Structure 1
Amino acid sequence: MTRLNIGLQLYTLRDVLAEDFEGTLRKVAALGYEGVEFAGYGGMEAEALRDLLQEINLKAIGSHIGLHLLEGNLDAEIAYLKTIGAKYAICPWLPVEARDTEAWRSHLVKFEEYGKRFQAEGIDFAYHNHDFEFEVEIDGQIVFDALYERIDPKFLKVEMDIGWVQYSGVDPLAYIAKYAGRLPLLHLKDYRGGEKGQQIDTVELGRGDLPLVPIIEAAEKASVEWLIVEQDRCANPPLESVSESMEWIKTNYLNK
């Protein structure tokens, strides 16, 4: 099987990026990450960011693009992604008022429209889950599954956040297998505790409760392209956290 690429969702480093965007990207590359998934661009012009990524040998995996930007700034988002060489555009989250059944019916239509627009520009559109996609149903089907059943795979890929899948009480290994071939991006995270409805303590890889090695093995079998490390909140300095998670990946995957 082809080795999975290792990336980082930069939301994890949002505080240090706000202080020094370019310097933080250089540190991420030095830690051994092969690609980054953006959650904002630090005010950099697309051409400057493209040149920096080439210099430090980091790939632009894609970007998390908020619903308001998909609705109101789509052309500019496409142009930016194309300039930096990113392959994926991902809707990362929905506000609370946009999560009821009727809102989801509208999203199903709009997401397919966005997917068609992105595909025409050589970019794949994906959706990143939390837990609320497992709490609402459309015609007796949970939203997570309805999204991918009702929208053509050409227009909507899966970015599965495996931590939220497990937190929702769903078997993460079964869900990876279920979406094999449509699942290019897997958010790899770990957490401790957190019964359903309670706060999750996100931790560095290997310090929590998720079966990470079987998850990676399942991801290989499912033709995942990128394992993307994400830690929603860091008790330690964030760069230390993502460094520790990369060392876990090296020990338990890359160097095995």
Structure 2
Amino acid sequence: MLGVQLYSVRDDLSRDRDATLRRIADIGFGAVEPYDPLNDPAGFRAVADDLGLTVWSTHAPVLGERRDDILDAAGVLGLDAVIVPAVAPEQWADADGVARIADQLNDTAARAADRGLRIGYHNHWWELESRIDGRSALEALADKLAPEVILEVDVYWSTVGGEVTADLLGRLGDRVRYLHVKDGPAVRDAPMTAVGAGTVPITDILAAAPTAYRVVELDECATDMFDALAESHRYLTGLSA
């Protein structure tokens, strides 16, 4: 089963949530990952259930002051994990900063566990560009995380950050529960493409994390977003055919 991070269709979602989710389901995706769990979680879950869409996880700023509200909403959505979408680049500059991030994630994970939820972290490029003792700051973070904290590796941004992403996934191992699968020219400020139409070595990457959930996300796209999502779905399902 393939999922979609709904940030990809954020403008359509804000105009007509239910119709947008229906288009996602009609393409053939079986799961979604919201980015705003506080926006009518009960209504969102009802529509997702009606369309046969699983809510795998959500992005949310759960390290902030609305932590308990977010965890409550996650419970209503019936999802598995709350993923921190980013921590600012300057906090990854050294080992002390990475240790502080790990402490926040571990503390929040302990609170989430009481509700049957897991906490995870999603990378951009800066966690890979920053080096701690010769390794990426993301790997330094993984060393300090409690066992229950997971990672959602964004395979595009890790590539932009200078990593051979398949090798990175091998080093991170089972900590990686989700992949953000995206493609394009692998440069920072260019629009993305449908998965399979860019330069990211998608097949090698997927082979390196065979049990991780695949979540398609296209932050920006030069073509119609729904066309790109449909093309991505055809490509990814074709790999497993």
Fold equivalence (TM over 0.5): yes
Which of 102, 107, 112 is the equivalent residue of 1:108? 102
Secondary structure of the equivalent of 1:113?
helix
User: In the alignment, which residue of structure 2 is the partner of 1:89?
Assistant: 82
Instruction: Decide whether the 8 Å contact of 1:193 with 1:201 is kept in 2.
Output: no
1:241 aligns with 2:235: no
Q: What is the rounded CA distance, in whole Å, between the counterparts of 2:183 and 2:130 in structure 1? A: 24
Residue of structure 2 in register with 1:171 after alignment? 164
Say if 1:140 and 1:246 are closer, same or farther in 2 by CA, change over 3 A. Answer: closer
CA displacement at 1:142 relative to structure 2: 3.0
Match of 1:65 in 2: 60
TM-score normalised by the chain length of structure 2: 0.92
The percent of aligned pairs where both chains have the same amino acid is 25
User: Taking structure 1 as reference, are residues 233 and 84 closer, same or farther at Cα in structure 2, changes over 3 Å only?
Assistant: same
Asked if structure 1 preserves the Cα contact closer than 8 Å seen for 2:160 and 2:186, the reply is no
CA distance in 2, matches of 1:137, 1:207: 30
Query: Which residue is 1:8 aligned to?
Result: 4
1:34 aligns to 2:30 (yes or no): yes
Report if the CA contact (8 A) 1:17-1:42 is conserved. Answer: no
Structure 1: runs of 5 or more not aligned: none
- TM-score, L = length of structure 1: 0.87
Is the alpha carbon distance of 1:42 and 1:22 closer, same or farther for their aligned partners in structure 2, counting shifts above 3 Å?
Answer: farther
Match of 2:201 in 1: 211
1:23 to 13, 19, 22: 19
3-state SS in 1 of match to 2:173: coil
Q: Which residue type is aligned with residue 206 of structure 2? A: I
1:201-227 C-alpha deviation (Å, 9 max, x unpaired): 31111110112122222221xx21x10
| Residues 172 and 29 of structure 1: CA distance in aligned 2, closer, same or farther (over 3 Å) | same
Uncovered stretches (5+) of structure 2, i.e. residues with no partner? none
> Residue 149 of structure 1: CA displacement?
0.2
Please state how far the C-alpha of 1:127 moved relative to its aligned partner: 0.4
Is the Cα contact below 8 Å between 1:18 and 1:42 reproduced in 2? no
Question: Once the two structures are superposed, what CA deviation does each residue of 1:93-148 show, in whole Å capped at 9, x if it has no partner?
Answer: 12345444354332221111011111221111110001111233446653101111
CA distance in 2, matches of 1:105, 1:182: 17
SS in 1 for 2:63: helix
Displacement, 1:72?
Answer: 0.7
Matches of 2:112 and 2:89, distance apart in 1: 26
Which amino acid in the other structure matches residue 82 of structure 1?
G
